Amino acid sequence: MPVSRPEALLIDADEASGFPNAPLPVLIYRQLIDAAGERAASTFEALFAAHRWPPEWRYGLFDFDHFHSTAHEALGVFRGRARIRLGGPHGSQHEIAAGDVLVLPAGVGHANLASSDDFAMVGAYPPGQRWEVERGDPARFAAACRRVAAVALPDADPVGGSLPSLWR
């Protein structure tokens, strides 16, 4: 499957809110697959696994701003649509829909602001990276930034795209 070049969004740190974000761009692959529902979920799981990003869950997106300081994250939307925020409480809003993939560098804040009732995604992470949920704490900002900086770059893009060149 040929993969088009993703949207690449740079999101600055928000020290006042405690969100490290990242010097690496968020990648958004629009309409990567043309399917919905369980077939799309299975397609994303197979695609992520084939590119060495083991899928771990099927769920929605938390409705509060959070980030993962110990893992990069790939999200494949397999049902519905959502308006999300990237970058923490002062971040930017984006629309995502079934077929889209987001690749979030460690530290990037994200939240679901509004979504269709059927909205769901597959989540995947590079091998050996374990995610946790952090909500942003200005008092712990420096420590979160150190954890984010220590997360290894993945060897491959979760969909076979241009992450290796965009994240180096």
Q: What is the pLDDT along the chain (168 residues), one digit of tens a residue?
A: 567 889 999 999 999 999 999 999 999 999 999 877 789 999 999 999 999 999 999 999 999 999 999 999 999 999 999 999 999 999 999 999 999 999 999 999 999 999 999 999 999 999 999 999 999 999 999 999 999 999 999 999 999 988 888 998
For residues 77 and 144, the answer to whether their CB atoms sit within 8 Å is no
Whole-number Å distance between alpha carbons of 120 and 166:
27
For residue 154, what pLDDT is reported?
Answer: 96
SS3 46: helix
Whole-number Å distance between alpha carbons of 15 and 9:
19
Residues 6 or more apart whose CB falls under 8 angstroms from that of 39 comprise none
Please give the class, per CATH, of domain 7-163. mainly beta
Domain boundaries, the chain: 7-163
For residue 97, what pLDDT is reported?
Answer: 97
For residues 70 and 107, the answer to whether their CB atoms sit within 8 Å is no
For residue 93, what pLDDT is reported?
Answer: 98
Overall pTM surpassing 0.85 (yes/no): yes
For residue 168, what pLDDT is reported?
Answer: 84
